[in-house]
Structure 1
Amino acid sequence: MPKIHLLSPRLANQIAAGEVVERPASVIKELLENSLDAGATRIDIDVEEGGVKLLRVRDDGCGIDPDDLPLALSRHATSKIVELDDLERVATLGFRGEALASVSSVSRLTLTSAIEGAEQAWQVETEGRDMQPRVQPAAHPRGTTVEVRDLFFNTPARRKFLRTEKTEFSHLEEVVKRLALSRFDVAFNLRHNGKPVLALRAAQSEAEARRRVASVCGPAFVEQSLQIDSERGGLRLWGWVGLPTFSRSQADLQYFYVNGRLIRDKLVAHAVRQAYRDVLYNGRHPTFVLFMELDPAVVDVNVHPTKHEVRFRDSRMVHDFLFSTLHRALAEQRPGDSPAPAQTTVPELITARPGGLAAGEFAGQQPIALDSGAGSQWSNWTPPERPAAGEVSQQLQGLRQLYAEPVPSQPLPVSEPGEIPPLGYALAQLHGVYILAENAEGLVLVDMHAAHERVTYERLKQAMDSEGLRSQPLLVPESMALSQREADCADEHADWFARLGFELQRMGPESLAIREIPSLLRQADAAQLVRDVLADLLEYGSSDRIQAHRNELLATMACHGAVRANRRLTLTEMNALLRDMEATERSGQCNHGRPTWTRLSLAELDRLFLRGR
């Protein structure tokens, strides 16, 4: 066995660099965080060959005192914390004091800085193998410039793992964008091989902040997102959340910041997924740029070397706040409150058909009578399978009412523009599938089955929530073998399980018996459902799996109960559905997350037909 010995400073720094410096993007992250911590209002970034040849970051921050320059390149040297208590209220981005030492150990680094009122600037240089810094006078305005040349020149094995110049720069650009979103008050300029890539001016107003978000995330995101700002119990959440119809195939447009620090956190991801669960198309990912602000003392940012993960002191409270805020924001949207769902312009939609279309006139189709009102249902359908004891069917009877007020039968009554409903008034049906309506802005297209499916689904959930989940005793209780931790969790949440229709009995230190289950979920694997719920409770402090299973059944019933394609509707029935959509939560998407309606404004129609040219 070799003798134990101390590592040389150079080797120790190179090992530390493996944690901090993975690629050029890692270096840029550390340098930009230092600039922001120094109070910079403008940051210029120059990159050559994807960052391998050169990374230069220049800021107008407070600068570094000349006597501190050599120390700045030492390990565990920082101006941001002094004692252990400071770690409990970290309010800066970089505080470990390892970044510059790690970067300088695998590159040729030059740091030039000047403080306010100094007669001249000073510069310190170091190379990877020579850890003795050289200090000399230099010319520089107030602030700091860090040049990193020939990254990994002295560790060729690490350099071989770098990707192409294009790939490395793509990662680097993404880091700049993330930090630019975290600080709207700072200007960012990025150049690659001498060519401007990003030029983001400091945002001093809400409109300018929206423009920055549009520059980073694309104009479509801002146009198809909801702006939120909610505060409760010392937590504040603000920013932008994409409409469910503006989803992505990958989770590549998701930015979540805690006190200005971008994080990737399982608890946050779970809360967001729960909020979107009822409105997102299968396999799609939501989009958001969100900022959470809370007391630094209740969040630990020192749990990972790259500081991408955090630990909340009260994770249950944070999870519930995130979920409830986003869930409410998505649910409260009505057709008149937000832009139309994202659409793809299809020229065929405006191609004239010989003979035209008459409202509600399609051969071979029978009219549908409408049982409507504040909770409209179509009178000639029944659920495909009625639950035991008539649990839901009894609630459905209460939904069948007549409309309290007549619906206009004329396509567009004479009225002031402000009096026209958001979805307007029906003009006709198209192929027995779509409703064509006219509103103040232009043409509205509605998928009548998808829209009625959402309306029916929301009414079923409301009826179920008003009565709750009924229990059904098991003839033979089902035993479960669990860990003691899981069994203790079941005991702790026994009242919560009971409200959801489960009766669980502790049989031993590591066993439970299921005596009652929700009658609506009698076909589900009760034991597996309880295990999954307990896993959520232990991991996140909450679970919506029982409600999700219930909603899946209600969604199936709503799908079978919604008006089918190729059914003729009268103008009154079509208008009734439009009014129901305007009053129903989440009516912009069907139960499967697909859009229920879209709009073509007069300006868009004019462009399609080249009017005014």
Structure 2
Amino acid sequence: VHPAKADVRFRDPGLVRGLIVGAIREALAGAGIRAATSGAAGMMAAFRPGAAPYAHPGPTAGHRSYEAAYHASGFSGFDHGSNLARSPQRPLDMGDARQPRNGFAESEQAAFDTGPLASADARAGTAEPPEALLGLALGAARAQVHENYIVAQTRDSLVIVDQHAAHERLVYEALKNALHSRAVPSQMLLLPEIVDLPEEDAERLAMHSGTLAKFGLGLERFGPGAVAVRETPSMLGETNVQQLVRDLADEIADNDTVETLKERLDRIAATMACHGSVRSGRMLKAEEMNALLRQMEATPGSGTCNHGRPTYIELKLADIERLFGRR
């Protein structure tokens, strides 16, 4: 384009972008799950005598916008007093059993079932965790603090897990696996949910209704500027249908022209996963916390959430002992 060849225009920019993004994602996926070490190292350094207060690098602009939208959405999450799996569904295939580079044992197992998460004692109990659990990568759950962080113990470290971020990633991977096997279970709503939208958003959703149906979301036009939702993915449980549909409309509007079909499906899965994950502020039983840890160990990429933030950090016992002058 530019006489000095400073600018280049591609005939199909969407195809070029898809190739670049696909190559990057493939490289990152091959790295497997990793503990977040930079944040833990900075936090530990801040405790040393004379050290400056630790300042977390903070989220990117995209992460900040996600957080603002999340807090403003007013989701109530799952119904605290009801069984989340209202319709029978078969366990999802979590993929071929492979040995990832980090050494986690990956095996086929059912998608993490949150079950009825009514108020429960958040402590993992006073009994010592079984020795077998201490030898696992994420150890045994010992407590839940601030109704969002799971504290687990291994033989030589302390692990802190962000329950919402971790489960969001698990739901995302389960959705992708179910989509690949064409087996995303759906549940019929007793009464259709009518969602009012700008006309262009309603039209986009109607145009992509076939794609959304693959995720278990059944919707159709309902007059000018509205859609009727008749089915939702079973694995999302009780979710805010209105907000889910509006978020999906935004995703499609923002990425409808440049993304490949695979990228678009991944984005839809990520949006649905956020609506179907265990919310912050939910008290979990010991068995639920341990089930989440085991599912993380079996899921590639579970070390980061869908937005690139770590789902857990690991503090080595040796580093903790140094803080108290034991080493």
Q: Which has the larger radius of gyration?
A: 1
Which TM-score applies when normalising by structure 1? 0.29
Which TM-score applies when normalising by structure 2? 0.49
**If each structure's strand is expressed as a fraction of its own residues, which one has the higher value?**
1
* Bigger relative contact order (CA 8 A; separation at least 6): 2
